[in-house]
Amino acid sequence: MLLSLHLGGREIGLHTYGVLIGCGCAVSIVLAFREARRQGLDGSKVLDLSFWMLVTGLLGSRLLYVALNARSFALICAGGGDDQMAARTFGRVLDDCTRAFQVWEGGLVFYGGFIAASVFAFYFARRQGWSFWALGDLYAPSLAIGHVFGRLGCFSAGCCFGKACDAAAHWCTRFTADSVAFDELRSVSAIPDGATVTPPLFPTQLYEAIGELAIFAALLLARRWLRKRAGGGSGAARRPTSPVPPGTLILIYAVLYGVLRFGIEMYRGDFARLYLVHFATPRLARWLGLPTGEAVLLSTGQVVSVVVVLAAVAVLIRRRRHAAT
């Protein structure tokens, strides 16, 4: 929690997670608005689209997270099997049973938000007569930089945490008792009684934030290169050397993020992930610096990442071939 205020006997907190999510949204919208104005699009309509994409994206992210953790939320509402559940106050019961709506505590699944926001963007583009693929290119860098802030928010809340890390490694991190990581690990007795912090864990949230920042930089460079290749650079008009179909930038993002997410999933240790196949390879685990008994393949996130990468590559090739004819 960033800070808290006591008003009327109640504590009102300003959570770092929410602040960082808000900052990411603001930066993303500003970048998209500036790019839209550069392309001659109606800035007010782009702002409207940005707002509703944020709303649908957050809803989609949270809904998928809740769906993947439905059993945990049900147990919390029921008292978690605690012998003292009969002594819970009405306020505690209400708080436990509304935990699924407490977004500020962390818990968003990116792919759920991406799908929901994309569906709304497609609907909006059809109504306005805009190209859905061109909109995707417009928002691609914004999506990457917004995700950077989102993962920093995850780190502050302790969600999306990593597997156990060698305590001697300088990059390991520990989360305090008010974090999602601490609560989840304590629920499976992975934290001894009396402990105030988690065991050393891989900071997967920071890994993904760094990766997204690199993708953001790559997309800006790719956008500049594509403009020059299409004859859209500054100065004298250039003849396009080859057709550059709309959607190239967002498809590049999908490929890069899918690869990044597949790798990060190997280090993830939070319970939001489901495994389709538990595939533990001690040799690969040792090479990655993971406990030898940990499964590295095949989580739902990895499966989705593979599908996204293959689909994005296929669509990219098809669109380029179509543009060349």
Kindly tell me if the per-residue pLDDT of 236 is higher than 50: no
Which range is least confidently modeled, 65-74, 82-91, 110-119, 166-175? Answer: 82-91
pLDDT of residue 134: 92
For 258, half-sphere exposure in the C-beta direction (CA atoms, 13 angstrom radius) is 17
Alpha carbons 276 and 222: distance in angstroms, whole number: 35
Which pLDDT belongs to residue 202? Answer: 94
Q: What is the pLDDT of residue 104?
A: 60
Rounded to whole angstroms, how far apart are CA atoms 102 and 168?
35
Mean pLDDT of 270-290: 79
- The domain in which residue 245 lies consists of 13-324
Query: Residue 1 falls within a domain, yes or no?
Result: no
* pLDDT, position 283: 84
Higher per-residue confidence, 275 vs 257: 257
- Residue 234: pLDDT band with limits 50, 70, 90: very low
The answer as to whether 5 is a domain residue is: no
Number of domains in the chain: 1
Checking if the pLDDT of 94 tops 50, the result is yes
pLDDT per position as a tens digit, 46-67? 999 999 999 998 888 888 878 8
5 versus 157: the higher-pLDDT residue is 157
31, 292, 303, 324: which is closest to 149 by C-alpha? 31
Interaxial angle between packed helices 16-38 and 43-68, expressed in degrees from 0 to 180 and rounded to the nearest 10: 140
Residue 156, pLDDT above cutoff 60: yes
Q: Which residue has the higher pLDDT, 271 or 119?
A: 119
115 in any annotated domain: yes
Least confident of 78-82, 198-202, 208-212: 78-82
Torsion of CA 267, 269, 274, 277, to 10 degrees: 50
Mean pLDDT (the chain) is 83
